[in-house]
């Protein structure tokens, strides 16, 4: 087996580029099979590993992954971006929320192969350089977290929500932030985060 | 010698104030690492094949195809052919592979055959006379059950003497029981109990009726009662549903040394459990955990899958293997809260004085049955008779669930009493207050709390006799409940070192479940040493640090705050001895305040903290503070009162909570902000189990129907109403010392919400969760009764 955990976070330098090419050379390059479906020619990837390339938090990441691998597992297992969590694994709880094209998605139900060539934003980018994003500071101040396992997903959901609705109504808050679940019971703090960030009364 | 006590309220610089959690930035930024995030190079991925049947015997296992698959590095049979499996989802075979998809493929390639056996998953009311036969020899499960469920000592001893045991009593077992504080009288009876090996494999009946317990004279009590209320009440089985599922990563740095990252509530307790299962010395096991994504009572053991993970790693040459339960496995096998139901008869004088109680209760904790909930709860009703029937089922095994048995006991007791108040035509607030004289040792606390809660809720304005008479389908009502809990601090050691350069570090083998343990330790140390919290380096979550008890039963805050306080004062003693000559004073005349060490009576005679520590010379001061230890720093037993305001749509059966109030005592409070957070969280978790959560099993197949987070419903942000929390900080509370808070506030929401629903719609919905179907069924019954 080839090394499945080769991490190639950047394809910018020549050295990195050669390294990536080297890996590719050790695995027989799979040329997508082309089949005809509904009268159109469609390339089929897999079932073995195929080269994939991502733009995550503004940086290029490359990996050899099977087409069945989810974006969440690619982020966590291949690129060690472990902020997004796998909790329900079927788009019910929001702990894996990341932004794809600036829209929040459940990374557990997006295939990695489909997330290529689109900007991906994860929780790690929000405090790049060590300084917390104001939303994150508000999570700390209002104690919108206990065990913290749902927190990265909630922070991303709040950010996407506030970007879209800078001055939300109470009903908008209740509706749009109901896609993330917390077990410790931190919703009161999270509502206060949104209230503070939007200058509204909250839900 | 230092005097081991808490500083007086006016002298506290940090204790009792409001602080954000110190690990908040790490969590909010996604940098906080959990066992599930441990991701070393070369990590192998575990998967487990699980039994699809609720009751079966494994007849054959063929792993050969999986072993031949490229990328599969280890295969471990967890329960071999011939084993009887007692619940769906139990572990059969584990594999480790280079990536998760390969591990999944390997699981699919394993052939396991089963003999399917008849299952019982029903915890419906036992038929009359069920479980009355002789119980037969005690199994290990029976014993665990009796010991952990307040069965009186004498009863356990007499059962051991009369019926004997179906298992061999080993020295290890005795040692373990002693470690749990089981009294010698019980241990001696266990050692002397007749051993019946033939009973081990006998099929046991599903019902086991426990001996009736009687206090006072129940018959006389009921004949003196002027009003008697009868009803049935209860709470269904729910799960823990930790967001970080159970699991671990294991590796062997050498052939007899194990290193685990385990998602746990008890780091220090892990090595012994791994050592026993893997036959290596406990000292060769290192366990580490930075953060845990929820436990709620279900994470104290490495579990079958954790031991299998360590075995897989060993077979793979010591390479790290990580296995965390899948979501469905977590809900099926990661722990559940036992159900408890009861038929209750309770009687009172016309003036509201409660005089008699009778209950027949039942419930299931899975294969081991379940113990009796502590009913009647809080109230020491003078005349009572109660009997409990444990129901053994092929539901997954029960685990301690935040405040074990108390939420169920609160639902049964507080709803029965609320129905009695209704029958007496009394406002429940007046009725409960009237009976506080029999509310046990916390009665004075409840007496203070009820008026505060009533005021915060607006009870007087909101309460009405049963049945909201207003027009329209949506009815509104209020309800209340009360609760207690022990919460004495557990045993633990805190190692504190003051270095000559002025730096301070603290090491404890404790863990922070998100309750704010790290923050509390730093508050106590900072306040005691007179230096800021961020001047102290804190290390927890590793067996390399001094042992600290498991975080269960609200025992952590008392344990770590007292051991840290003692360590701080001990270290200051040594520091003062070195500094005193320079300041021309006796060590006993010094204090550490505001970053200085100074003479108490003359603050101009002072050294900065750094200058003072420099007097240590080359050697640091290192001390270990212990709990238990000298001085009365902690206590046990808290009281809390909660009120709920709900709306019920009588056309759809949907219940919506409008407001909840919690008034809570927990002795001396270390961090007011995070103490309040515990209460807010408990109210939210309480709304969740009162209205939505239920482990639903299919009677035909015995399988769980909702092992996911769509149909095993947790409350979402939209479901949460206005929440008001009031912490009691009077001298009455503060003087008692530190007491745990994790459990108590989660006890009452089920009962308070159920009572509010009864107040709104005029009829009792007997069981929680109060799902629309149950609400509509109760309304229909009421209509039929009225027609």
Per residue in B244-275, pLDDT tens?
Answer: 999 999 999 999 999 999 999 999 999 999 99
Asked if the structure places residue A9 within a domain, the reply is: no
- Confidence at residue A27, expressed as pLDDT on a 0 to 100 scale: 45
Nearest-Cα residue of chain A relative to residue B70: A1
Instruction: Identify the weakest region by mean pLDDT among A28-37, A141-150, B557-566.
Output: A28-37
**B718 contacts A87? CB cut-off 8 A:** no
Q: What tokens were used for A117? A: 């060539």
Distance of CA B294 to the CA centre of its chain: 11
pLDDT grade, residue A25 (50/70/90)? very low
What CA–CA distance (Å, rounded) separates B739 from B730? 14
- Confidence at residue B201, expressed as pLDDT on a 0 to 100 scale: 67
Hey, which residues 248-307 in chain B have their CB within 8 Å of chain A? Answer: 291-294, 296
Share of chain A above pLDDT 70, in %: 83
Question: Which residues of chain A are within 8 Å of residue B294 when distances are taken between CB atoms?
Answer: 147, 149, 183-184
Measured between its terminal Cα atoms, the distance across chain B in Å is 78
**A190 contacts B28? CB cut-off 8 A:** no
**B25 contacts A132? CB cut-off 8 A:** yes
What CA–CA distance (Å, rounded) separates B631 from B424? 48
- Confidence at residue A44, expressed as pLDDT on a 0 to 100 scale: 84
**B515 contacts A90? CB cut-off 8 A:** no
What CA–CA distance (Å, rounded) separates B599 from B589? 6
Are A76 and A105 found together in one domain? yes
| Top-level class of domain B9-15+489-627 | alpha beta
Q: Which of A4, A88, A148 sits opposite B32 (nearest CB)?
A: A148
pLDDT above 80 (res B147): no
pLDDT grade, residue A17 (50/70/90)? very low
pLDDT above 60 (res A8): no
pLDDT above 60 (res B288): yes
Nearest-Cα residue of chain B relative to residue A49: B101
Are A93 and A189 found together in one domain? no
Number of separate domains in chain A: 2
**Nearest chain A CA: its distance from B336 CA (Å):** 15
Asked if the structure places residue A144 within a domain, the reply is: yes
Sequence-ordered list of residues with C-beta below 8 angstroms from that of B158, at least 6 positions apart, any chain: none
- Domain residues for the domain of A83 are 14-125
Nearest-Cα residue of chain A relative to residue B23: A140
3-class DSSP state of B438: helix
- Confidence at residue B85, expressed as pLDDT on a 0 to 100 scale: 96
Q: Which of B23, B514, B709 sits opposite A88 (nearest CB)?
A: B709
Q: Which of A129, A73, A93 has the alpha carbon at shortest distance from B293?
A: A93
Give backbone dihedrals phi and psi of B426, rounded to 5 degrees, phi first.
Answer: -115, 150
- Confidence at residue A16, expressed as pLDDT on a 0 to 100 scale: 40
Are A114 and A159 found together in one domain? no
pLDDT digits (tens, 9 = 90+) for B107-126: 999 999 999 999 999 999 99
Question: Which residues of chain A are within 8 Å of residue B684 when distances are taken between CB atoms?
Answer: 182, 185-188
Hey, which residues 657-686 in chain B have their CB within 8 Å of chain A? Answer: 673-674, 677, 680-685
- Confidence at residue B137, expressed as pLDDT on a 0 to 100 scale: 87
User: Mean pLDDT for chain B?
Assistant: 95
Mean pLDDT value across residues B277-298: 97
Nearest-Cα residue of chain A relative to residue B676: A143
ipTM for the whole complex: 0.93
Going from the C-alpha of B336 to that of each of B126, B370, B696, the distances in angstroms are 21, 12, 12
pLDDT digits (tens, 9 = 90+) for A151-190: 999 999 999 999 999 999 999 999 999 999 999 999 999 9
- Print the SS3 string covering B212-243: CEEECCHHHHHHHCCEEEEEEEEECCEECCCC
pLDDT grade, residue B58 (50/70/90)? very high
pLDDT above 50 (res B556): yes
**Nearest chain B CA: its distance from A40 CA (Å):** 30
**A140 contacts B24? CB cut-off 8 A:** yes
Are A86 and A43 found together in one domain? yes
- Confidence at residue A109, expressed as pLDDT on a 0 to 100 scale: 97
Question: Which residues of chain B are within 8 Å of residue A4 when distances are taken between CB atoms?
Answer: 71, 98-99
- Confidence at residue B431, expressed as pLDDT on a 0 to 100 scale: 98
pLDDT digits (tens, 9 = 90+) for B491-548: 999 999 999 999 999 999 999 999 999 999 999 999 999 999 999 999 999 999 999 9
Query: Touching check for B515 and chain A: CB below 8 Å?
Result: yes
Are A76 and A98 found together in one domain? yes
Nearest-Cα residue of chain B relative to residue A149: B293
Sequence-ordered list of residues with C-beta below 8 angstroms from that of A137, at least 6 positions apart, any chain: B28
pLDDT grade, residue B130 (50/70/90)? confident
What CA–CA distance (Å, rounded) separates B450 from B438? 15
Instruction: Identify the weakest region by mean pLDDT among B343-347, B661-665, B729-733.
Output: B729-733
pLDDT above 90 (res B150): no
Hey, which residues 216-245 in chain B have their CB within 8 Å of chain A? Answer: 241-245
pLDDT grade, residue B148 (50/70/90)? low
Which CATH number characterizes residue A108's domain?
Answer: 3.10.20.30
In this structure, the dihedral spanned by the alpha carbons of residues B294, A77, A82 and B324, taken in order and rounded to 10 degrees, is 0
**B21 contacts A185? CB cut-off 8 A:** no
pLDDT digits (tens, 9 = 90+) for A55-114: 999 999 999 999 999 999 999 999 999 999 999 999 999 999 999 999 999 999 999 999
- Domain stop point among A90, A125, A160: A125
Query: Touching check for B745 and chain A: CB below 8 Å?
Result: no
pTM for this model (two decimals): 0.92
**A145 contacts B24? CB cut-off 8 A:** yes
- Substitution target in A143, A152, A170 with the highest count of B β-carbons within 10 Å is A143
Which CATH number characterizes residue A149's domain?
Answer: 1.10.150.120
Query: Touching check for B513 and chain A: CB below 8 Å?
Result: yes
- Substitution target in A72, A109, A149 with the highest count of B β-carbons within 10 Å is A149
CATH architecture of the domain formed by B406-487+635-786: 2-Layer Sandwich (3.30)
Domains of chain B, residue spans: 9-15+489-627, 35-118+247-324, 134-204, 406-487+635-786
Are A133 and A116 found together in one domain? no
Mean pLDDT value across residues B136-154: 75
Nearest-Cα residue of chain B relative to residue A152: B30
pLDDT digits (tens, 9 = 90+) for B76-96: 999 999 999 999 999 999 999
Are A97 and A132 found together in one domain? no
B9-15+489-627 and B406-487+635-786 have identical folds: yes
Asked if the structure places residue A137 within a domain, the reply is: yes
Are A56 and A141 found together in one domain? no
Mean pLDDT value across residues B571-579: 98
pLDDT digits (tens, 9 = 90+) for B590-623: 999 999 999 999 999 999 999 999 999 999 999 9
| Helix (H) or strand (E) segment spanning residue B406 | helix B406-423
């Amino acid at each position: 087996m080839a090394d499945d955990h080769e991490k190639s976070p950047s394809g910018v330098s020549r050295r990195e580029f050669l390294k990536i090419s080297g890996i590719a050379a050790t695995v027989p390059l799979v040329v997508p099979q082309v089949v005809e479906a509904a009268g159109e020619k469609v390339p089929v990837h897999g079932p073995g590993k195929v080269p994939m390339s991502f733009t995550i938090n503004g940086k290029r990441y490359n990996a050899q992954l099977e087409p069945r691998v989810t974006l969440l597992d690619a982020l966590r297992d291949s690129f060690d971006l472990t902020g997004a969590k796998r909790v329900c694994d079927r788009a019910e709880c929001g702990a894996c929320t990341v932004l794809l094209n600036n829209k929040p998605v459940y990374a557990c139900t997006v295939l990695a192969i489909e997330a290529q060539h689109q900007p991906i934003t994860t929780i790690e980018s929000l405090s790049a350089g060590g300084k917390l994003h104001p939303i994150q500071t508000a999570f700390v101040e209002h104690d919108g977290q206990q065990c913290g396992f749902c927190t990265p997903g909630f922070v991303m959901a709040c950010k996407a929500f506030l970007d879209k609705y800078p001055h939300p109504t109470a009903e908008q808050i209740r509706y749009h932030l109901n896609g993330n679940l917390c077990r410790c019971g931190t919703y009161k703090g999270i509502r206060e985060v949104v209230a503070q960030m939007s200058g509204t009364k909250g839900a | 010698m230092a005097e081991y006590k808490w500083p007086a309220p006016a002298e506290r610089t940090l204790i009792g104030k409001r602080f954000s959690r110190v690990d908040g930035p790490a969590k909010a930024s996604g940098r906080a690492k959990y066992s599930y995030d441990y991701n070393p190079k070369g990590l192998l991925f575990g998967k487990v094949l699980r039994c699809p049947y609720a009751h079966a015997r494994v007849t054959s296992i063929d792993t050969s195809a999986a072993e031949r698959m490229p990328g599969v590095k280890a295969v471990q049979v967890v329960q071999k052919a011939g084993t009887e499996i007692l619940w769906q989802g139990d572990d059969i075979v584990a594999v480790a592979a280079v990536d998760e998809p390969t591990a999944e493929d390997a699981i699919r390639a394993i052939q396991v055959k089963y003999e399917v056996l008849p299952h019982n998953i029903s915890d419906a009311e036992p038929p009359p006379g069920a479980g009355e036969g002789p119980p037969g020899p005690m199994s290990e499960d029976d014993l665990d059950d009796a010991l952990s469920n307040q069965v009186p000592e004498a009863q356990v001893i007499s059962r051991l003497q009369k019926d004997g045991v179906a298992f061999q009593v080993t020295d290890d077992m005795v040692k373990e029981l002693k470690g749990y504080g089981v009294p010698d009288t019980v241990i001696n009876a266990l050692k002397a109990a007749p051993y019946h090996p033939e009973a081990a494999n006998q099929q046991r009946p599903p019902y086991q009726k426990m001996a009736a317990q009687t206090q006072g004279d129940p018959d006389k009590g009921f004949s003196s009662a002027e009003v008697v209320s009868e009803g049935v009440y209860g709470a269904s089985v729910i799960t823990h549903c930790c967001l970080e599922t159970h699991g671990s990563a294991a590796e062997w740095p050498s052939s007899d040394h194990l290193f685990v990252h385990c998602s746990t509530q008890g780091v220090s307790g892990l090595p012994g459990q791994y050592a026993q299962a893997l036959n290596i010395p406990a000292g060769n096991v290192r366990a580490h955990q930075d953060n845990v994504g929820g436990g709620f009572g279900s994470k104290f053991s490495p579990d079958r899958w954790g031991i299998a993970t360590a075995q897989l790693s060993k077979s793979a040459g010591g390479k790290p293997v990580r296995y965390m339960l899948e979501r469905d496995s977590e809900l099926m096998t990661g722990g559940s809260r036992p159900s408890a139901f009861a038929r209750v008869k309770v009687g009172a004088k016309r003036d509201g004085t409660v005089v008699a109680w009778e209950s027949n209760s039942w419930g299931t904790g899975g294969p081991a049955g379940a113990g009796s909930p502590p009913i009647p709860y809080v109230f020491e009703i003078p005349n009572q008779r109660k009997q409990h029937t444990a129901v053994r089922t092929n539901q997954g095994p029960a685990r301690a669930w935040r405040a074990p048995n108390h939420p169920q006991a609160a639902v049964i007791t507080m709803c029965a009493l609320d129905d009695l108040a209704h029958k007496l035509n009394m406002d429940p607030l007046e009725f409960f207050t009237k009976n506080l004289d029999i509310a046990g040792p916390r009665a004075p606390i409840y007496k203070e709390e009820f008026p505060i809660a009533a005021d915060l809720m607006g009870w007087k304005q909101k309460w009405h006799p049963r049945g909201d008479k207003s027009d329209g389908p949506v009815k509104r009502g209020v309800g209340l409940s009360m609760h207690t809990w022990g919460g004495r601090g557990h045993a633990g050691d805190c190692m504190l070192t003051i270095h000559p350069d002025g730096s301070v570090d603290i090491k404890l083998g404790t863990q922070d479940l998100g309750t704010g343990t790290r923050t509390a330790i730093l508050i106590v140390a900072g306040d005691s040493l007179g230096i800021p919290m961020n001047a102290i380096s804190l290390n927890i979550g590793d067996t390399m640090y001094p042992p600290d008890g498991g975080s269960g039963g609200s025992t952590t805050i008392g344990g770590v705050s007292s051991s840290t306080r003692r360590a701080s004062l001990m270290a200051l003693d040594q520091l003062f001895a070195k500094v005193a000559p320079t300041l021309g004073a006796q060590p006993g005349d010094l204090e550490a305040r505001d970053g200085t060490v100074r003479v108490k009576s003359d603050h101009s005679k002072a050294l900065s903290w750094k200058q003072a520590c420099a007097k240590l010379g080359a050697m640091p001061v290192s001390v270990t503070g212990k709990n238990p230890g000298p001085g009365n720093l902690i206590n046990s037993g808290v009281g809390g009162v909660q009120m709920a305001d709900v709306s019920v749509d009588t056309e759809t059966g949907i219940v919506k909570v409008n407001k909840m109030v919690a008034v809570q005592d927990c002795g001396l409070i270390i961090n007011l902000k995070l103490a309040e957070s515990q209460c807010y969280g408990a109210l939210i978790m309480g709304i969740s189990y009162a209205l939505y959560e239920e482990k639903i099993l299919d009677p035909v197949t015995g399988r769980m129907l909702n092992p996911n987070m769509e149909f095993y419903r947790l409350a979402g942000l939209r479901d949460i109403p206005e929440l008001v929390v009031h912490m009691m900080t009077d001298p009455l509370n503060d003087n008692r010392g530190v007491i745990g808070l994790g459990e108590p506030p989660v006890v009452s929401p089920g009962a308070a919400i159920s009572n509010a629903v009864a107040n709104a719609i005029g009829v009792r919905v007997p069981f929680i969760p109060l799902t629309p179907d149950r609400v509509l069924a109760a309304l229909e019954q009421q209509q039929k009764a009225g027609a």
